[in-house]
Amino acid sequence: MRKWIKSHIDEIISDRVLRLFGVALALTHILTVIFWSKTGMPQSLSKESVPICWPGLDFCPYLHVFSSAHIEIILYVYGILSLLVGMSFLFRSSSKLAVAGLFVITGAKFLIMSIDIRTAMNAHPVIFLVSFIFFFVPHKRFSIKLAIILIYFAAGIIKLDHHWISGENFGRMPGFLDFIPNQFAAIYVLILELLFSPLLLARNKLLKNFALGQFVLFQTASFAFIGFFFPTVMFCLLSLFVADQIFVEAAKDSEKNRIPFEYPPTAFSCSLMVYVFMFTLLQLMPKLISSEPIFSGEGKYFSLHMFETPIRCDAKVTLIDGSNKRTEFSFFPDLRTVNPRLSCNPLSYFWRAKAVCEAHTYESSEFLDFDLEVEVRLAAESNLKPLVSIKNFCSQQIEYRYRSNTPLDSGFQGRHSLCFGHDR
């Protein structure tokens, strides 16, 4: 085991490109801290917040033990450590310590994210998957390049549905792109991810730089749609191709003129096969978890859905007091701290409703129980689909489980049959 670990560390230390990529990976953690701070994550992870647990981690309320001020301090320390790790990669003499430090902060990020599912975001699985290769897979430069291409290619495969091809996922184009038809932009992205991504391994510099330039333009334009976090993370990962050209490919012999694409190592390692299996499984998660993830969003936080199909949800609670009087009002998770992928997810409503039951009150001193209803629709449609309809939520001892064998698979299960409606 010690020899195996040493071989991976030595491969990183001896390769200037990999050391520079270590700087880029450390930078993704600094970007994480900035993003979490800007989106109010300290409040979501604090003991003052109603927790929303990852499926299977139902004990997460016990992990909400710090105040938001303490969480901010933890994130500040995490950011400083990430900066020190990145700086350490710049010097070969401190690279071994940098590798250990990067492993520690990656594990720390995983533990922080396990506290609450509101930390979920596409960029995080991408960072973890690429970090897995950086730490555990040999022939790292080629394997990481292959992983980045696989990330883009898988994102293109996921987009092969009518919601994407029709252009409806884009919504309204930002001002500087409003001259481009939505459907044209959607098809261009498909061509980019499915056809141009393999060109990142081309030995012909013109082809490779053309493909790399297209991805830089794509990620730059995506700032207007999905914010700064994911594009900047992908810029960090794409920097490997730039560093590889500058420091490695210039020294290669004329063999590159005879072979059109970079070729894989003579034998793919078992660790690379494990990576490919993990990656494929994550892309299948939405379909494995729910029959209609487009409405519930269940499982999408594991896969590469970079652009969301716009959906709208309508949730309401019918409050029942001690005199059996019923009062109806709107009921939403706190949308300030829930990203769009979770805003209509039944998991968000489950934990909010469970907290109401445990508190035995919701703006009423005579609270007895309540009925919960959630309806959902595509933004481009008018018909609502009943996603969840539960009578007497508190008294039913509801549990959350995936694949409840109902029309929309909301995941709520209890001792009594639940009402899941069809299209109206």
Predicted pLDDT at 289: 72
Flag the least confident range among 133-137, 262-266, 294-298. 262-266
**Measured in whole angstroms, how far is the alpha carbon of residue 358 from the centre of its chain?**
30
Q: What is the helix (H) or strand (E) element at residue 328, kind and residue range? A: strand 326-330
Residue 363 has pLDDT above 80, yes or no: no
pTM, entire model: 0.83
What distance in Å separates the CA atoms of residue 225 and residue 240, rounded to the nearest whole number? 25
Q: Average pLDDT for residues 58-81, to the nearest whole number?
A: 94
CA distance linking residue 197 with residue 309, whole number of Å:
23
Which H/E stretch holds residue 368?
A: strand 367-378
H and E: helices and strands count for the chain: 15, 6
Q: What is the pLDDT of residue 263?
A: 54
The DSSP symbol for 321 reads: E
CB 233 within 8 A of CB 126: yes
Dump strand ranges (E) for 126-195.
Answer: none
Question: Quick count: other Cβ atoms within 10 Å of Cβ 310?
Answer: 14
DSSP one-letter string for 387-399: EEEESSTGGGT-E
Report whether 52 contacts 347 (CB < 8 A): yes
Distance CA(344)–CA(335), nearest Å, equals: 10
pLDDT over 80 (residue 346): yes
> Which residue type occupies 156?
G
* pLDDT given for residue 185 in this prediction: 86
Q: Name the average pLDDT for the chain.
A: 80
**Full 3-state SS string of 286-308:** HHHHCCCHHHHCCCCCCCCCCCC
Q: Using CA atoms, how far apart are residues 410 and 333, in angstroms rounded to an integer? A: 16
Among candidate residues 316, 306, 311, the one with its CA nearest the CA of residue 295: 311
Distance of CA 244 to the CA centre of its chain: 27
Q: In DSSP terms, which residues pair with 328 in a beta bridge?
A: 318
Mapped onto helix, strand or coil, the DSSP state of residue 136 is helix
Q: Residue 36 in contact with residue 44, Cβ under 8 Å?
A: no
The tokens for 123 are 């960029």
The pLDDT tens digits for 161-202 are 777 888 776 766 666 677 778 888 889 999 999 999 999 988
pLDDT at 207 over 50: yes
